[in-house]
Amino acid sequence: MMQDTSALNQQRHPIADDESVWLFGYGSLIWKADFPYLERRRATIYGWERRFWQGSHDHRGTLESPGRVATLIASPGTPCHGMAYRISGETLKPLDIREKNGYLRETVSLHFSDNSTASGLVYMATQDNPAFLGESPLAAIAEQIDRAHGPSGPNRDYLLNLAQALREMAVEDDHIMALERHLLALR
Ligand code: BEZ
């Protein structure tokens, strides 16, 4: 099921075209920044865990064979490491449209390696959106990812690119690395 959250996102946090805003990426935004940005910095948010629990019918799967992509699940105190981009409001608009399937923008505190902080936005798909799939055994998630393919390409590329990018950043993420092992074992 699809839910177009783009208009809701623009109402919830209106941002003028010439304003700049930090956007925190924990999924494809870590390895695929195909938009203009003013600054890019590693950042950490606290209280969230990355999980492949959101269905993808529009990017990495289809209605008949949905893929799975990352979302954030509340986990008090847990760090989630990712990449933050300072972008203009003008750049944010097309991202809202691209990430429209159930992802809402939330405000979070970003922590940078020099101990500075900033307020930023993050896209999250919560359990009440119709595309949310939730927890499943890792082997089943990996099999679903291995099968799925959508307009943005094979679902497996999303997972493998994310795992590789996290390794290059020396980020330990047990869920992602275990999923990668399951996926690679399938072929
Ligand atoms: C991310 O990489 O942070 C992301 C990208 C699209 C939707 C949700 C999250």
What's the gap in Å between 137 CA and the centre of ligand 1?
Answer: 22
> From the alpha carbon of 24, which atom of ligand 1 is closest?
3
Q: What is the pLDDT of residues 15-72, one digit of tens each?
A: 898 899 999 999 999 999 999 999 999 999 999 999 999 999 999 999 999 999 999 9
Three-state DSSP at 6 gives: helix
What's the gap in Å between 27 CA and the centre of ligand 1?
Answer: 5
Q: What is the pLDDT of residues 74-131, one digit of tens each?
A: 999 999 999 999 999 999 999 988 777 789 999 999 999 999 999 999 999 999 999 9
Pocket test of ligand 1: the residue of 4, 24, 26 to mutate, having most ligand atoms within 8 Å of its CB, is 26
Single-letter amino acid, residue 109: S
What's the gap in Å between 126 CA and the centre of ligand 1?
Answer: 13
Q: Which domains does the chain have, with CATH numbers?
A: 6-182 (3.10.490.10)
The model's pTM is 0.93
- The residues carrying an active-site annotation are 99
pLDDT band at 11 (very low <50, low <70, confident <90, very high): confident
Q: From the CB of 85, is ligand 1 less than 6 Å away?
A: no
Q: From the CB of 96, is ligand 1 less than 6 Å away?
A: no
> From the alpha carbon of 82, which atom of ligand 1 is closest?
3
pLDDT band at 1 (very low <50, low <70, confident <90, very high): low
Show the beta-strand stretches assigned E in 14-116. Answer: 20-25, 39-56, 67-88, 103-111
**DSSP letters spanning 111-174:** E-TTS-EEEEEEEEE-TTSTTB-----HHHHHHHHHH-EETTEEHHHHHHHHHHHHHHTT---H
pLDDT band at 187 (very low <50, low <70, confident <90, very high): confident
pLDDT band at 2 (very low <50, low <70, confident <90, very high): low
